[in-house]
Amino acid sequence: MLDAAALEVLNFSRRHVSQAVDTVRRPVRTIRLFFKIRRDVLPGLIRLANTEGDRLEVRLGRARLLLLSAPADVHEVLVSQYRAFHKPQGPISFRRVLGDGVLTSEGEIWRRGRRLILPAFHSDALQPLGAKMVELTLRRMDEEWRGGAEYDIVDEMTSLTFAVATEALFGFQDADLSAEVRDSISSGMRYASRRMYKIVRLPTWIPNRGTRAAKRLRRAIGRILDEREKRNGAEPDLLSLIRGADESGGDGFTPEELKDQALTLLLAGHETTASALGWTWHLLSQNPAALARLESEIRTTLGGTLPSADNIRALPYLEAVVQEALRLFPPVWGLTRQAVEPFSLGSRTFPTGTRVVMLPWVIHRQASYFSRPDEFNPDRWLDGSMADQPRHAYIPFGAGPRTCIGRSFALMEMRLIIATVLQRYRMHAVPGHVVVAEALVTLRARQGVRVVLEPRTLVPDPPDGEEPFRPLVSETASGGCPFHEGAREVPS
């Protein structure tokens, strides 16, 4: 419960933030700032917002960069004035890799692509995938995991979410093709991550490791699509729902367009979710009380039956754990835009060409919006304290017309994987292994998240009421659905 003085401080900070403080940095200070941040990006960005304000403009020659960490500014850029912005190309020109896929395209091509894809990501269409997600998790545990052994759980989650995305999209997996795709994605990502922090970059059209990886990736996806065609819809999959729009409306994707979209969904659909799961396991391994409470909820509610798309809705604490992990470690730690026409924030107008970076990483860790922001406290999503949070203070999936298409998919997948794994294993952090967050293309742990797996069984209460294991904390009331944003319409 907050006292009056604390509320005043909170209200003051909110006023302060929603009015957004402008700070302008000029060349010499800009270069100094760049080097300071480059060494220590994530803590550096938080320090910067705290000392310089939540709207920092950096100028270097004609280039302008705006770092934004006020929810009101996020609303302006992503919602109210979204037409004034395009997505920049990113460190390896993601457009070159993903073509006109929905992640990288703009204008009418993007609008049409999003409209054709959306039905496949509607919650009803996703329901049948739940069983597949659980099955693939069980298979990974059976075939790859051994009790007592040590793993980098981020790698494990990447393999698992990749398998889920492949089966969901194409209805099958081919070991060789999957290995080819994964290998080219990870070498492309490594190259992109290194390039992000290079001061001088060669143009993206000069052949390099990134472009070679992109070519390999596109070839492999082409082969997967050919193979899928041969199987002639043997397994229902998400791509067939996307193609469905084609057959009924006549306005469908050409084979080349479908390749761009398939590649986009595969790429966007597993890296981020793997990162989020890796961080969730890390947080649970550091917070035994939360872990015990989660295990208790799963045991009591599921009673030893497998999780499903249906029964996980009755696990509010699991939902809160996922939401809190995405707050503390948002896989997409920064959202970037480039102004294609002038735009205004507050009383200021900014010119075409201004590069804008919005920082979920910083916003999610502001005391103005989240009490004790660095603490892992899933209860904050259940006890009503988030009710008067300003819009866009929580944006792990972005916001506005370009909000994440796969949000429901990812939230279902994360909950199903966590519940399925916890019925069989408890994860312990490897002593001495320090987990450090690193701002790469997604938010990653520098040396991974190393855990040891302890086999266990979450069995239902025996009839005589004897506890099979004792939760460390008592259960409290559940809340309504804390994921307050629903599916989006495509704006016309």
| β 150-152/335-339 pair status | unpaired
Q: Are 434 and 189 in contact (CB under 8 A)?
A: no
Q: Please say whether the beta carbons of 107 and 362 come within 8 A.
A: no
User: Contact region for ligand HEM (CB under 6 A) — 28-36, 263-271, 283-291, 448-456?
Assistant: 263-271
Q: Residue 293, interface with ligand HEM (CB under 6 A)?
A: no
Q: x/- site string to ligand HEM, residues 403 to 432, per CB under 6 A?
A: -xxx--xx----------------------
Which residue lies nearest ligand HEM, judged by its C-beta? 406
Residue 34 has a CB neighbour count (10 Å cut-off) of: 15
The reply on whether position 335 binds ligand HEM by CB under 6 A is: yes
Q: How many other C-beta atoms can be found within 10 angstroms of the C-beta atom of residue 16?
A: 14
Among 158, 204, 273, 377, binds ligand HEM (CB under 6 A): 273
Distance separating alpha carbons of residues 94 and 96, to the nearest angstrom = 5
Taking the C-alpha atoms of residue 363 and residue 369, their distance in angstroms, rounded to an integer, is 8
Q: Is 358 in the site for ligand HEM (CB under 6 A)?
A: no
How many angstroms separate the CA atoms of 25 and 28, rounded?
8
Q: Which two tokens stand for residue 283?
A: 């947080």
Q: For residue 264, state whether it binds ligand HEM (rule: CB under 6 A).
A: yes
- The total number of residues shown for the chain amounts to 492
Tell me how far, at minimum, the Cβ of 332 lies from ligand HEM, in Å: 4
**Number of residues counted as binding ligand HEM (CB under 6 A):** 23
Amino acid (one-letter) located at 96: R
In whole angstroms, the minimum distance from the beta carbon of 85 to ligand HEM comes to: 10
Q: From the CB of 417, what's the least distance to ligand HEM, in Å? A: 11
Contact between 171 and ligand HEM per CB under 6 A: no
Cα 283 from Cα 326, distance rounded (Å): 11
Reduce the secondary structure of 305-350 to three states and give it as a string: CCCCCCHHHHCHHHHHHHHHHHHHCCCCCCEEEEECCCEEECCEEE
Give yes or no for residue 114 binding ligand HEM (CB under 6 A): yes
Residue 66 parent element (H or E): strand 63-68
Closest CB to ligand HEM among 53 and 113?
113
Residue 396 interacts with ligand HEM (CB under 6 A)? Answer: yes
Query: Which segment (201-209, 330-338, 380-388, 452-460) binds ligand HEM by CB under 6 A?
Result: 330-338
Q: Is 170 in the site for ligand HEM (CB under 6 A)?
A: no
CB 335 to ligand HEM: min, Å: 4
- Partnered with residue 427 across adjacent β-strands are 453
Residue 276 binding ligand HEM, by CB under 6 A: yes
Residues that bind ligand HEM (CB under 6 A): 87, 102-103, 114, 264-265, 268-269, 272-273, 276, 331-332, 335, 396-398, 402, 404-406, 409-410
